[in-house]
Structure 1
Amino acid sequence: MPMPSEEKVSDLVAAVIEGLGFDLEGVQISRAGRLSTVRILVDGEAGVSLDEIATLSNEVSAKLDTIDDFGAAPYTLEVTTPGTDRPLTLERHWRRARGRKVQVQTATETFEGRVGQLDDGSVDIVIRSKSGPTVRALALDEVERAVVQVEFSPPNARELELTGGVAEGRPAPGAAPVDLEHEGTDE
């Protein structure tokens, strides 16, 4: 029996993910011969920890095991976050990206700035200029594409101040990566 569609898998797992307090950001199914990979993309207001990914993975796996649509077809389940290359398409994406540097494309221009406050279909973008950072309001419906940029250095303090700071629960731009091997230990 063939793999169910991405839409069917989305319908099956959405309630489980939302019930645990997260958002389903997408489902991707890729096939390689007889093997398939089902990738479930999730996010939350404060991000998603590794422990939460494990819980989500167990719950989603249990839900998928209850249906016959997968039949005897082997598949690998991956539960993950969307990553930095996900386009900002929904208001929640912009809210969660506050403080991050983004590349924005509109019908007339492409520019970089730092995501600020979101307000009723508009977002403030902090733009660098020769006279210092300035705030520009941008209607979300003018945005054709926006993607968070990876930063290796801490941001300009004044720019970050103008954004209202980093969204709660999100890592600061340019922050050192978390050492997962020693996280939560005194080493």
Structure 2
Amino acid sequence: MAERSTGLPSQRQVIELLDGEFARAGYDIEDVLVDASARPPRVTVVADADGGLDLDAVAELSRLASALLDELDSAPYVLEVTSPGVDRPLTTDKHFRRARGRRVELTLSDGSTLTGRLGELRDGVVGLVVKDGARGALSVRDVERDSITKAVVQVEFSPPSPRELELAGQTGRET
């Protein structure tokens, strides 16, 4: 109904038009936001991939989305293609896989929190590289995926140590 009153494509229409083409290009649509109250009105497509999105990928997806959405007879709007923000909670196994090697804060079902570098997710268990003790020795702690009630990637201002990346299952450049 909203599409009739605003003249904008609906979230469903955008997903139906773009999902197959984005998937063929190697990207997933994480979300679509249609904001008729913005001036000018805005349609935002949030996409992601295992390697993340760089500026070239965003430009490619923007051209692709624009060409496909131009086929709709709709009111004018601004189209934005973007990646998920770093503060987006990790809610699916795919999110955990894509965040591997990143620093995360986990909230567990008992209310405690853990901060460390995200390792591999295997058989419902997440490896988390943590610093132990006063000397800060690195170790991998296994955390049951089902015990995690919230997981958020942390912003880092300096590169992690090679040892930390190695324990997280990364070789350094693919994070």
Q: Normalized against structure 1, the TM-score is what?
A: 0.80
- Give 2:102's aligned residue: 100
Asked if the contact 2:120/2:127 (under 8 Å) is kept, the reply is yes
Asked if the contact 2:162/2:172 (under 8 Å) is kept, the reply is no
- Give 2:16's aligned residue: 11
Q: Which blocks of at least 5 consecutive residues in structure 1 are unaligned? A: 171-187
Paired residues in the alignment total 167
- Give 2:40's aligned residue: 35
Map 1:124-139; keep pairs closer than 5 Å.
124-130=127-133, 132-139=137-144
Between the aligned residues of both structures, percent identity stands at 43
Asked if the contact 1:26/1:40 (under 8 Å) is kept, the reply is yes
Asked if the contact 1:97/1:166 (under 8 Å) is kept, the reply is no
Q: Distance in 2 between matches of 1:47 and 1:158?
A: 23
Residues 149 and 80 of structure 1: is their aligned pair in 2 closer, same or farther, counting only changes over 3 Å? same
Q: Distance in 2 between matches of 1:28 and 1:166?
A: 36
Residues 8 and 120 of structure 1: is their aligned pair in 2 closer, same or farther, counting only changes over 3 Å? farther
Q: Normalized against structure 2, the TM-score is what?
A: 0.85
Q: Distance in 1 between matches of 2:94 and 2:50?
A: 8
Asked if the contact 1:114/1:163 (under 8 Å) is kept, the reply is yes
Equivalent residue letter for 2:63: N
- Give 2:122's aligned residue: 119
Map 1:85-96; keep pairs closer than 5 Å.
85-96=87-98
Equivalent residue letter for 1:133: L
SS of the residue aligned with 1:133?
A: strand
- Give 1:22's aligned residue: 27
Where does structure 1 differ by over 3 angstroms across 4 or more consecutive aligned residues?
166-170
Q: What whole-Å deviation, never above 9, does each CA across 1:36-76 have from its counterpart, x for those lacking one?
A: 111111111222232221121111111111123x2xx2210
Asked if the contact 2:120/2:169 (under 8 Å) is kept, the reply is yes
Q: Distance in 2 between matches of 1:163 and 1:34?
A: 44
Q: Distance in 1 between matches of 2:39 and 2:50?
A: 37
Equivalent residue letter for 1:87: P
Q: Which blocks of at least 5 consecutive residues in structure 2 are unaligned? A: none
What's the C-alpha RMSD, in Å, of the aligned pairs?
Answer: 2.0
Equivalent residue letter for 1:94: F
Q: Distance in 2 between matches of 1:167 and 1:35?
A: 42
SS of the residue aligned with 2:120?
A: strand
Residues 84 and 34 of structure 1: is their aligned pair in 2 closer, same or farther, counting only changes over 3 Å? closer
Map 1:130-169; keep pairs closer than 5 Å.
130=133, 132-165=137-170, 169=174
Q: Distance in 1 between matches of 2:90 and 2:172?
A: 15
Equivalent residue letter for 1:124: G
